[in-house]
Amino acid sequence: MEAKPVEKPRTSRKLLYAVVAVIVVAVIIASVAAVILTAPPAPVKPITIELWYNDDGHYGDTEPTVAVLLKAQLEKSGVFQVNLKHSAWRTFVGQFSNNQLPFFQLGWFPDFADSDNYVTPFMRTGFQSLGTNYSNPTMDALIDNETSSTTGRDTTFSQIQDLAARDVPTLPLWMTTAVAVREPSISGVVLDPYLFRYYFIGKNNTATSTLTMSTTDKLTSLDPAVEYDLFSGTVVGNIFDTLYTTTPTNGSEIPQTIPLLAAGAPVNPVGGDPKVWEVTLKSGLVFADGSPITARDVQFSFQRLAKINNPESAVFYVTGLMDGNVLANTPDNVISMPDGPTGLRVQFHLNKTYAIFPNLLTFSTTSVLNHNVYPVGTAVDNPTTLPGGGVGGGSGAYVVQSTDLANSIVFTANPNYNFKTYWQQYQSKGAPSIPVPVSNTFSISLKAAAPALRQDVQAHVVNLGYRSFNPPDVTALQADATLKVDLGNSPQIRYMVFNSGTAPYNKIQVRQAIAYSVNRQEIVNIVFGALAQPLWSMIPPGWYGHKDVFKDVYGSSPDPAKAKALLQQAGLLSYIPPVDLAVGVARRRAD
């Protein structure tokens, strides 16, 4: 009998299919895993920020170029998307003074000759008119320490700069060279960063009838209680006098504080109290109208600052040292007159020890005004609108003959100027050898932009041009044999301001990430060339306590990786989610 064939189980074939399927799935999963593991990280969604700048030439025509370059540098880091915004200078000042700008470009000339002037306005709680809105009790204590004594400040300034580099309320970028272009016969041009003294300037160091100048600068106000920009402050310094002033300098040295309206150095302490300072006026001083300058005028001028209390001004210096409400309403309690209102002595009763008070009294905000001419509680932007044209309002070398604040300003010599020969002792520092003002009439034309400024000096429409030339124009004008180009060692700094009370700048990591992203040298090379240099601290080189702290902390070139890491660690970065690709495995029907 024949044997039946053995039938193979169908399950063996099914098992084979299952094994193959498992292998295929494993291969697919491994491939997907490999793709995932080797794929680039998810793209970052940049933090959107606004960068503001001035657009009408206050800093020259280079400002938009700098803004575009900064935008490119920040976006190159991969973590920021920058939207540029801009406004005219007068609007710009109002915006940042009232904390309406979150992040913006600004410049700074020193108000007085002390390194603290590069610190307090930006970093002290309550000093908000420059838009930082920054407050740190540790910084406040350091600032109070360095202003309480004129000795042993090196260590404190070092600590201040270290903390500033960590907190980054402002970001120093570059410092510029002062430039004036003049006819060769023009003398007395001293590029003094504290006060550009028009009254030194004439022709061939001889009495001159008329001198003309052009500028792209903009006037905001000619009232010491309001103005807080370089050009307006310069004009104020030429029509008003202060208790103290500084020796002339071209910026290569820090000047000395010297008496002007004051008879000598202030007395301190008074009655054993280091918070009390006594100043005695020189006898026989008069305003431009011939009326005497007295203790009452000094007290009135400070009271007026507090009474007007303009948020765009530098009143914070005064109200930070004397109670503003008391000064405004009962000034005798903080500025006393030991010999009465017609006397010559005044005593300042400060609310804290402030060793650099004489330096502050050189600043244009502390100018002495005639209490019989100026109103106590009302700002006067244009002095020619006062009764009698405001001629008796100040005691400076010039009085304002006419101005519309927008197009021109014309000065005439003050016939009763108290210091006509005073400056001859400073001839070695650029002062003229003849009585001042050297020019009887000094006229300034306000130009819309740098090309018009260059045209005026090149065509000899004016005798002098000052602020602000385009860097290529400076090079071209240096080659013009009919002109002389003066370059000054200016402590003018340029920097960016963070409003620390506004998102996202209220996050210290955002400010630090921006510090890692900027390229100072690129800005200097592309925009300014030899007319600027990178700046690594708010206190510029040559000033007491300076050190290149931002270079030490953030490096000399951008570091996008560190910027990104900072924001990642702080949880401030979000990511663009990847596209979800579904992977399917086909099933084979079982036999």
Distance (Å, whole) CA 120 – CA 137: 13
pLDDT at 578: 61
Q: In Å, how far are 50, 67, 528, 565 from 105, measured between CA atoms?
A: 11, 8, 16, 26
Burial class (CB in 10 A: 0-12, 13-18, 19+), 359: buried
| pLDDT tens, residue by residue, 229-241 | 999 999 999 999 9
pLDDT of residue 31: 53
- Helices 63-76 & 508-517, crossing angle to 10 degrees? 100
Q: What pLDDT is attached to residue 17?
A: 54
CA distance 354 to 164: 22
Residue 338's CB is within 10 A of a number of other CB atoms, namely 13
User: pLDDT tens digit string along 169-212?
Assistant: 999 999 999 999 999 999 999 999 889 999 999 999 999 999 99
The pLDDT value given to residue 57: 87
Instruction: Report how far residue 448's alpha carbon sits from residue 275's, in angstroms, rounded to the nearest whole number.
Output: 47
CB count, 10 Å around CB of 8?
A: 8
Query: Largest Cα–Cα distance of the chain, in whole Å?
Result: 153
Q: What DSSP element (H or E) covers 230?
A: helix 230-239
Domains of the chain: 47-176+491-575 (3.10.105), 178-488 (3.40.190.10)
Extract the residue ranges of the chain whose pLDDT is less than 70: 1-42, 128, 577-591
